[in-house]
Amino acid sequence: MIILTVIGARPQFIKASMVSRSLQNKGIREIILHTGQHYDDNMSKVFFEEMGIPNPEFNLGVGPGTHAEQTAASLKGIEKAILKEKPDLVMVFGDTNATLAGALAASKLHISVAHVEAGLRSYNRSMPEEINRVLTDVISSYLFCPTHAAIENLKKEGIREGVHLTGDVMVDSLYHFTKIAENKSDILDVLNLETGEYGLVTIHRPSNADDRDKLFRLMNALNQSSIPLIFPVHPRTKKILSEFNLEYQMIHPVNPVGYLDMLLLEKNAQIIVTDSGGIQKEAYLHKVPCLTLRSETEWVETVEDGWNTIVNDKFEKLPELIKSPPKPHQWNSHYGEGNAAKTITEILTNH
C-alpha cells in the first residue's frame, strides 16, 4: 500500500508525526508532500527535525497568498504528485487549505481520501477552516474522528459511511513528546520563567489578527494582566503588530517556538490565552485553564468540563479572567489515550 500524506501548515506536521511513525512500523510506504504553505524554519523545519518526520519527497513551495491562490497552487502540485506516484490513498489532516486541496485532487482522480480529524465543526462559516472541513468530509472515504461529538456532527450532515472513532492524534504527539521535552527543552530557563507564574498567549486567527483595532484592543487588555504573559508571535500577527510599534510591560513577545519548547511552556503555565484550535486542546490535556479568544470552539468538551472559557471579543474581561478563571469541574479522556495513530493504521491495513 502506498499512502500520499499531504501537509502544509504547522499543526499538520504535529498531527502527521505519530501517524507517520505508525505507518513506518507497519512497513507501509508513505510519501510526504509538503505544500509549502508554512515555510519559515520555526514554522516548518523545526517540527520535522524535533519530531523525526521523514523529509517530504515533494515540496510545492506554495507560500503566502489568497485562499484561491494557495488552494489552487496546492491542487495543481498535488495532482501532479498523485499522477506520478499512483498512491492507493491520500491522507489529509485537520482543516487548512492543504487539507481541502489534497482531498479534492485525490477524489477527482478516484483515489480514496482519509481525513484525520474529521467531523469537527465550529458552525461558523466565516472561518476558512470550517469550509475546508465540511468539503473535505463530504469527499473522504475514511473519516477518522477524534471524538464522539465529531461523529454526531457528521451524522447531522448525513455522513455515516467510513466513519471511525479513533481518538485524537494530537494526544499521541503530546504524550510522546512531553516526556522528551522534559529532558531536552530548557525554555523555562532561557525565558527566566518559574512554573505556574506566567501565562502563555497565542493569536493567529484572521478574526483577531487581521483586524487592526481589535488586535490593538486585545493587546491593551492583555497588558493589564497581573502575571507576565509569554507570547510566541505567529507571522500573520507579527506583520500587523510591527506596525503598532508599542511597548508592553506584561506581554513578552518571542518568535514562534518549536514543539518541545511549546509543550513545556504550556504545561508549566498558570493559564493559556489563545485562539488556536490545537492549543485549546493541549491546555486541557495538560490540565491548564484556557481562555479562548473566539466566539465558539470545535473542542466543546473542554468548555463543558470547565477548563476552557470562551471570551469572544469581551477583551475587557481578560485581566480578571487571567487572575481568577472559572474553576474546572471534571476531566475525561475525551480525546483518547494516545493510540489514535495505531488505530488509524490498523483500520487502513485491515480494509
Q: Please state the closest distance from residue 176 (CB atom) to ligand UD1, in A.
A: 21
Residue 256 contacts which entry, ligand UD1, ligand UDP, none (Cβ below 5-8 A, type-dependent) = ligand UDP
Alpha-carbon Rg for the chain, nearest whole angstrom, is: 20
Does residue 278 touch ligand UDP according to CB under 6 A? Answer: yes
**Cα distance between residue 197 and residue 114, in whole Å:** 42
Distances (CA, A) of 162 to 18, 115, 141: 21, 10, 6
- Count Cβ neighbours within 10 Å for each residue of 15-52 and write b for 16 or more, e otherwise: bbbbbbbbbeeeebebbbbbbbbbbeeebbebbbebbe
| Closer by beta carbon to ligand UDP, 62 or else 82 | 62
Residue 216 contacts which entry, ligand UDP, ligand UD1, none (Cβ below 5-8 A, type-dependent) = none
Q: Please state the closest distance from residue 241 (CB atom) to ligand UDP, in A.
A: 15
Does residue 286 touch ligand UDP according to CB under 6 A? Answer: no
Does residue 338 touch ligand UDP according to CB under 6 A? Answer: no
| Closer by beta carbon to ligand UDP, 89 or else 92 | 92
Residue 303 contacts which entry, ligand UD1, ligand UDP, none (Cβ below 5-8 A, type-dependent) = none
Q: Which stretch binds ligand UDP (CB under 6 A): 10-18, 77-85, 108-116, 150-158?
A: 10-18
Residue 235 contacts which entry, ligand UD1, ligand UDP, none (Cβ below 5-8 A, type-dependent) = ligand UD1
- And the C-alpha cell for 111? 483515489
Task: Give me the phi and psi of 14, to 5 degrees please.
Answer: -65, -40
Q: Please state the closest distance from residue 243 (CB atom) to ligand UD1, in A.
A: 14
Active-site annotation holds for 38: no
Judged by DSSP in three states, 73 sits in helix
Tell me, by CB under 6 A, how many residues bind ligand UDP.
15
- Interface ranges with ligand UD1 (CB under 6 A): 9-11, 37-40, 43, 64, 95-97, 128-129, 204, 234-236
Task: Given the residues 34, 115, 204, 234, select the one marked as catalytic.
Answer: 204
**Cα distance between residue 126 and residue 9, in whole Å:** 20
**Binding marks (x or -) toward ligand UDP, 234..273, rule CB under 6 A?**
----------------------xx-x--x-----------
**Cα distance between residue 149 and residue 185, in whole Å:** 35
Judged by DSSP in three states, 252 sits in strand
List 285's β-bridge partners, or say none. Answer: none
Task: Give me the phi and psi of 258, to 5 degrees please.
Answer: -70, 170
| Closer by beta carbon to ligand UD1, 64 or else 326 | 64
Q: Are 299 and 277 in contact (CB under 8 A)?
A: yes
Residue 87 contacts which entry, ligand UD1, ligand UDP, none (Cβ below 5-8 A, type-dependent) = none
Q: Which of 276, 292, 299 is nearest to 147 (CA)?
A: 299
Q: Residue 87 carries which side chain, given as an amino acid letter?
A: P
**Cα distance between residue 95 and residue 141, in whole Å:** 16
Owner of C-alpha cell 517530504:
56
Does residue 14 touch ligand UDP according to CB under 6 A? Answer: yes
- Helix (H) or strand (E) holding 343, with range, is helix 340-350
| Closer by beta carbon to ligand UD1, 96 or else 112 | 96
Q: Can you spell out the DSSP letters for 143-185? A: EEESSHHHHHHHHHTT--TTEEE---HHHHHHHHHHHHHHHH-
**Binding marks (x or -) toward ligand UDP, 157..196, rule CB under 6 A?**
----------------------------------------
| Closer by beta carbon to ligand UDP, 91 or else 201 | 201
| Closer by beta carbon to ligand UDP, 146 or else 277 | 277
Q: Please state the closest distance from residue 84 (CB atom) to ligand UDP, in A.
A: 29
The residues of the shown chain that bind ligand UDP, judged by CB under 6 A, are 10-11, 14, 202, 204, 232, 256-257, 259, 262, 276-279, 282
- Which sequence positions are flagged as catalytic? 204
